[in-house]
């Protein structure tokens, strides 16, 4: 078998676009057109990835055959503990849609993970927990609190109405893939103020 090319760090892979980063996380928007393949790239930090589109991917790890194709779906979430063993792979998009995903890379693990969960945990690794809601028009989450900072991801376009425990409210139109860094110690309810169902994910540091 021909040796694979030397992998690049995930933030240097051409189809992985860094949206923003701070001292805690790096947020990457993956955009892979139909028929294209990424370079082999390495995730060296724990990460949580949220798919935004519906297509079929073939995944491959170094010096191994390409895995069986698998479908992606908006809102699918994976969480890997890459700080233990860096993970290298590449993706090939078989179609029919451009593959898009939000990848949140965590620069360090918590010394003392928080014990409180804001909601039902849908995915987690040693650095973070993910919570997800699909809200019909007019529907709202239960009130919930965050002990640690988190990344809010709009999986679908959404008019999001947020109300804090002390009654302060705000409304914002979020496009699919929009990400927000939110500070800790916030208690709120999130509602869908739009006319179509909306899907959001909160990725909270432990």
How many domains are there within the chain? 2
Domain extent, residue 199, equals: 123-205
Task: Find the range with the poorest average confidence among 44-48, 114-118, 127-131.
Answer: 114-118
- Check: CB of residue 83 under 8 Å from CB of residue 48: no
pLDDT at 183: 86
Per-residue pLDDT tens over the stretch 9-35: 999 999 999 999 999 999 999 999 999
Together in a domain, 31 and 70: yes
Asked whether residue 200 falls in the same domain as residue 131, the answer is yes
Considering the domain boundaries, does residue 184 fall inside one? yes
Q: Which of 48, 76, 106 is the last residue of a domain?
A: 106
Distance set, CA 94 to CA 52, 77, 123, 151, 155 (Å): 16, 20, 26, 29, 21
CA distance 124 to 117: 11
DSSP codes joined into one string, 97-118: S-EEEEEEEESS--SS-----S
Q: Is 102 found in the same domain as 130? A: no
Task: Tell me the whole-structure pTM to 2 decimals.
Answer: 0.95
Q: What was the pLDDT predicted at 16?
A: 98
Q: How far apart are the first and last CA of the chain?
A: 41
Cβ-based neighbour number of residue 98 at 10 Å: 15
The three-class DSSP label of residue 10 is helix
State percent of the chain over pLDDT 70.
98
pLDDT digits (tens, 9 = 90+) for 163-204: 988 889 999 999 999 999 998 766 899 999 999 999 999 999
Q: If 0-12 CB within 10 Å is exposed, 13-18 middle and 19+ buried, where does residue 37 land?
A: middle
Q: Please write the tens of the pLDDT for every residue from 125-168.
A: 999 999 999 999 999 999 999 999 999 999 999 999 999 888 89
Q: What is the mean pLDDT of the chain?
A: 95
pLDDT tier at 86, thresholds 50, 70, 90: very high
Distance CA 185, CA 148 (A): 7
Q: Which residue has the tokens 């194709």?
A: 69
Q: 93 forms bridges with which residues in the sheet? A: 57
State pLDDT tens for residues 89-113.
Answer: 999 999 999 999 999 999 999 999 9
173: number of Cβ within 10 Å: 12
Q: What is the DSSP letter of 198?
A: E
Looking at the fold, whether 39 and 79 belong to one and the same domain comes out as yes
111 located within any domain: no
Closest by CA to 16, choosing from 44, 53, 43, is: 43
- Span of 41-45, 94-98, 113-117 with lowest mean pLDDT: 113-117
Q: Which residue reads 């991801």 in tokens? A: 153
Strands 144-146 and 150-154: unpaired
Residue 1 reports pLDDT greater than 60: no
pLDDT score of 184: 72
């Amino acid at each position: 078998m021909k040796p694979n090319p030397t992998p690049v760090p995930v933030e240097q892979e051409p189809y992985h676009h860094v949206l923003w980063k701070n001292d805690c996380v790096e947020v990457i928007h993956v955009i892979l057109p139909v028929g294209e393949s990424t370079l082999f790239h390495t995730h060296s930090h724990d990460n949580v990835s949220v798919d935004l589109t519906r297509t079929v991917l073939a995944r491959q790890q170094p010096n191994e055959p390409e895995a069986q194709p698998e479908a992606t779906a908006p809102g699918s979430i994976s969480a890997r503990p890459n700080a233990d063993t860096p993970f290298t792979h590449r993706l090939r998009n078989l179609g029919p849609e451009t593959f898009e995903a939000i990848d949140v890379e965590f620069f360090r693990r918590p010394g003392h993970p928080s014990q409180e969960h804001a909601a039902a945990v849908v995915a987690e690794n040693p650095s973070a927990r993910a919570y997800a809601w699909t809200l019909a028009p007019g529907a709202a989450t239960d009130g919930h609190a965050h002990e640690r900072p988190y990344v809010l991801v709009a999986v679908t376009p959404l008019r999001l109405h947020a109300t804090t425990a002390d009654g302060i409210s705000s409304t914002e139109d979020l496009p699919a893939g929009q990400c927000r860094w939110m500070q800790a110690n916030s208690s709120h309810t999130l509602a869908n103020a739009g006319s179509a169902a909306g899907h959001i994910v909160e990725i909270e540091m432990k």
